[in-house]
Structure 1
Amino acid sequence: MTTTDTTAPRRYPLLIGGEHVHAPGGRLFTRTSPAHDRVVGEYVEATAEEVDLAVETARKAFDDGRWRDLPGMERARVLRRVAALVEEHAEELARVEALESGKPVAQARGEVATTAELWYYAATLAQHAYGDAHNALGGDYLGLALREPVGVAGIITPWNFPLLIVSQKLPFALAVGCTAVVKPSQLTPGTTLILGDLLTEAGVPAGVVNIVTGRGDVGARLSEHPHVDMVSFTGSTEVGKKVMTAAARTLKRVELELGGKNPQVVFPDADLDAAVDAVVFGVLFNQGECCNSGSRLLVHRDIADEFVRRVVEHARRVVVGDPLDETTKVGAIASDEQLRVIERLVGEGTEAGAELLLGGHRLDTPAGRFYAPTVFDHVTADMSIATTEIFGPVLSVLRFGSLDEAVSITNSTPYGLSSAVWTRDVDTALAYARRSRAGTVWVNCFMDGFPEISFGGYGESGIGRELGRHAIDAFTELKSVVVHTGPRRSPWVPLEGTDRP
């Protein structure tokens, strides 16, 4: 199941003010590879003091304009250099990501490639962050709407896609002139810290991007800090609510990308071969540790028995194993805590009466923590496995008989991140897409993403949008400027000694 990897643990400092900051007094924490049970990284355990220093450094860098006042073309050049360096260091980044997170290295390479695409795309927005003008206010007025950077952005990222998700935020903040303090998850901070060095190499001025590592108290301090102007957070809905509460103390804006319980809805007229593969991919990709995981299958009763049988057989062929093995499709569960969550919810599904067709147990391996691909059939919409984000390779199958019923089941959870519909009928596809309360609806595809397409959720799946041209909204303020030309008309109180009416 696992291969031997004897690479020595890598030690990572903080990045503050363009300088590496090592742990005063030796305050370090480590990351054990979830697949190999050996330490792969050592990181600085930041305190409030380091967080405050990072924020004040970012504040100074913003206020003195060293990045904010550069022409958009100059910022774009730097962001393109970052993208090129990500491509140059792709193998290093992918390997660190696989070791820290447990995901297959082949998948990690794909994520690194997408990361570079995000930086290239964000660079275009550095030159296309437009305001507006209003020239129909009367002959002696001109109205301007200026789009200005919000200031210091606090960026808090999760453990499941550390490099990809920081790159859904940071380059867009930089594109419009913000400075930033980034706090990656304590489970997978390595690739973010490597990215920090690439930013320096690419020419991002010292102090513009600062990276601090540690546990939840670091993120909490960042969220409440009075000199942070906005917080962008990706993670669980539970923690997202805490971030929002902390941010409310200073009324800073928040952007939240949170949980999901995303359905794939399959109608009888669909391309069933494509749908089977997409359903298995959707729930097993990244071990199911994905906010976009297609963890619910809604299948029409007319085809349910045969379709579910095919899903189970297809899932049996998926290779679960060492993340460093090129053939692996499903790697290790990221932590013992997450493994316990999966085991608890699978137990609840069994107790509730769902029919376990596949898996439902931890795999017996000499090292690491691996969970078998799992499929439950005859799940009802009130079961916890149909409403709770499991964050594991667990599929819940629910059956429906009409479009109305499919929509009702889709919208029966607090989440609204994404959904998918499989049908050859355009009327059915568009009717479902319009009625599904989700930020993204895929039609005859699943988890097909592009830097140009906005991403975010309804309800408890979050606030705001990442990616696409709307990504800069969270990192900018709109300022109205009203310009009057010529003499002031109709003074409120006539000036003494004038002949104005």
Structure 2
Amino acid sequence: MQKTRRQVRNFIGGEWVEGNGRETEPVYDPATGETIAETPLSTKEDVDRAVKAAGAAFADWSKTPVVQRIQVLFRYKMLLEEHFEELRDLVTLENGKDAKDAGGEVRRGIEVVEFACGMPSLLMGESVRDVARGIDNVSHRFPLGVVAAITPFNFPCMIPLWTMPVAIGAGNTYILKPSERTPLTSQRLVELLIEAGLPEGVVNIVNGAHDAVNGILEHPGIEAVSFVGSQPVAEHVYRHGAAHGKRVQALAGAKNSMIVMPDAVLEKAVPNIVSSAYGNAGERCLAGSVLVAVGEAGDRVVEAVKEAAEKMKVGPGYEEGSELTPLIRDSHRDRVKDYVDLGESEGATVALDGREPPLEDGFFFGPTILDNITENMRVAREEIFGPVLSVVRVESLKEAVDFTNGSSFGNACSIYTENGAAVRYWRENVEAGMLGVNVGVAAPMAFFPFNGIKNSFYGDLHATGKDGVRFFTENKVEIARFLSEPETAEAVKMPTEAGP
């Protein structure tokens, strides 16, 4: 059945407007391949209009008391809860992930809104009295001005909510450039924010691709840019944005190891490993994409994971029970297939082959396992971003950690063991910013930073948590003394009997 096409528009200065770009990018339902919308590819002129609108709104919004700003966020949180299922289904429609993963994404986004509702406490400065005789030292947090976020296709609800509530709660005005592949959820998020009472111009949307991104990075009126996406683009955003004087946080790619020790509780670990590797079709930067089997764990865990993966139900995210959902585009499916072909040519064993499309319609790719991977293979080091699990076999925990540390990425690493000493050795030596102990997707809560390192992150201050607040604020440090003497008690006017 043909779906009704949805309209995608820019939102600038409180109005839904058409972009100046003449070209559009199709938005697909990945489960069917059907075009459900067209994203306008906006120009630098569109970016400039959004910056002017945000700049005009900044003066009033930044002076609005923080306790009033968060009333909008409290109402927004309520509206997000009321429209939870609608948002979940929008994520499934344009991204393809199943209802469970989509609902989890919406929930994690709402948690950041809850965190941002605590902005009065998060914006508190620091003070020390009498740093010298009669002199006090204090610090204050101020909003930056107009800020922007460039967000990816794989989490169209959660990742805009990583920055939008924090940025505006801190007093900034904000421009969102969602992925041109998944603009519908972002549009609905902003509609609900306006319904919550946000003033005109505080939040704006500019849809588009390269021209819009470079327009944001080059515009002198934008003070800070947050980005989430692939490593090459993240590096471009960081370098280009910094060259134009901007504060930049750029969250990049990953190649996350899941280390399985011989004492791992496999009956509980394997479902977790399968979920990490194949959930959201492997299209997430916290996916466990490399299984590092230590010693005698090797054959047992590989066989168990293969057996579980073979039983996964492949299907559209909106069908109950679907476990392996489609990739975002046919072109991306071709890219994932090319990597499996490459791994086979490099000498890997294709223990489970998903290259033949498991369903006729849509952009599906079957669960795949590449066994006997060695550290010099490209499939061991490069991000595939699909339902492909690479298996490396080593003899010791040290070898497992050394293999993991050989990656240029440092987003996440998980270990499956009941041995506390092994956990401590791994924690102290592994080079990854987010760690999971018997947890395959080591996603921090909203009040902690999303803490990738190495080539998984460019910048100094991470997204979410207190890092996110610091990223969207400027610290001013004041040192003060007063040179006059206080009035004597006799000179002070006493209050009247009617006064307090």
Per the normalisation by structure 1, the TM-score is 0.93
Q: Secondary structure at the match of 1:8?
A: coil
Q: Secondary structure at the match of 2:474?
A: strand
What root-mean-square deviation, in Å, do the aligned CA atoms of Structure 1 and Structure 2 show? Answer: 1.7
Which whole-Å CA distance do the structure 1 matches of 2:24 and 2:269 have between them?
Answer: 46
**Are 1:443 and 2:437 counterparts?**
yes
Aligned to 1:47: 43
Instruction: In structure 1, give the amino acid aligned to 2:15.
Output: E
Q: Secondary structure at the match of 1:155?
A: strand
CA 1:90–1:229 in structure 2 vs 1: closer, same or farther (change >3 Å)? same
**Are 1:461 and 2:419 counterparts?**
no
CA 1:319–1:361 in structure 2 vs 1: closer, same or farther (change >3 Å)? same
1:399-410 equivalences under 5 Å are 399-410=393-404
Aligned to 1:491: none
Q: Secondary structure at the match of 1:195?
A: helix
Which whole-Å CA distance do the structure 2 matches of 1:361 and 1:251 have between them?
Answer: 45
Aligned to 1:482: 479
**Are 1:36 and 2:32 counterparts?**
yes
- Contact 1:262–1:294 (8 Å) recurs in 2: yes
After superposition, the C-alpha distances for 1:172-223 in whole angstroms (9 at most, x for unaligned) are: 1112111111000100011001111111100111100000101121011101
Deviates more, 1:91-100 or 1:233-242: 91-100
- Contact 1:232–1:254 (8 Å) recurs in 2: yes
Question: Which structure 1 segments of 5+ residues have no match?
Answer: 488-501
- Contact 2:449–2:468 (8 Å) recurs in 1: yes
CA 1:288–1:149 in structure 2 vs 1: closer, same or farther (change >3 Å)? same
Aligned to 1:160: 154
- Contact 2:53–2:201 (8 Å) recurs in 1: yes
Aligned to 2:422: 428
Q: Deviation at 1:318? A: 1.3
- Contact 2:21–2:41 (8 Å) recurs in 1: no
Specify which of 349, 369, 391 is matched with residue 375 of structure 1. Answer: 369
Q: Secondary structure at the match of 1:162?
A: coil
Q: Secondary structure at the match of 2:288?
A: coil
Instruction: In structure 2, give the amino acid aligned to 1:9.
Output: R
Q: Deviation at 1:136? A: 4.1
Aligned to 1:254: 248
- Contact 1:84–1:116 (8 Å) recurs in 2: no
Which whole-Å CA distance do the structure 2 matches of 1:267 and 1:213 have between them?
Answer: 46
Aligned to 2:134: 140
Specify which of 197, 209, 217 is matched with residue 191 of structure 2. Answer: 197
- Contact 2:286–2:442 (8 Å) recurs in 1: no
Which whole-Å CA distance do the structure 2 matches of 1:150 and 1:234 have between them?
Answer: 20
Q: Deviation at 1:26? A: 6.9
Which whole-Å CA distance do the structure 2 matches of 1:29 and 1:458 have between them?
Answer: 33
Question: Which structure 2 segments of 5+ residues have no match?
Answer: 485-500
1:41-440 equivalences under 5 Å are 41-62=37-58, 64=59, 66-440=60-434
CA 1:38–1:204 in structure 2 vs 1: closer, same or farther (change >3 Å)? same
CA 1:126–1:204 in structure 2 vs 1: closer, same or farther (change >3 Å)? farther
Per the normalisation by structure 2, the TM-score is 0.93
CA 1:374–1:364 in structure 2 vs 1: closer, same or farther (change >3 Å)? closer
Indicate the percent of aligned positions where both proteins have the same amino acid.
34
Which whole-Å CA distance do the structure 2 matches of 1:304 and 1:27 have between them?
Answer: 51
Q: Deviation at 1:110? A: 2.4
Number of aligned residue pairs: 482
CA 1:110–1:399 in structure 2 vs 1: closer, same or farther (change >3 Å)? same
Specify which of 6, 11, 18 is matched with residue 22 of structure 1. Answer: 18
Which whole-Å CA distance do the structure 2 matches of 1:149 and 1:427 have between them?
Answer: 45
- Contact 1:223–1:231 (8 Å) recurs in 2: yes
Instruction: In structure 2, give the amino acid aligned to 1:471.
Output: G
- Contact 1:106–1:326 (8 Å) recurs in 2: no
Deviates more, 1:301-310 or 1:5-14: 5-14
CA 1:311–1:27 in structure 2 vs 1: closer, same or farther (change >3 Å)? closer
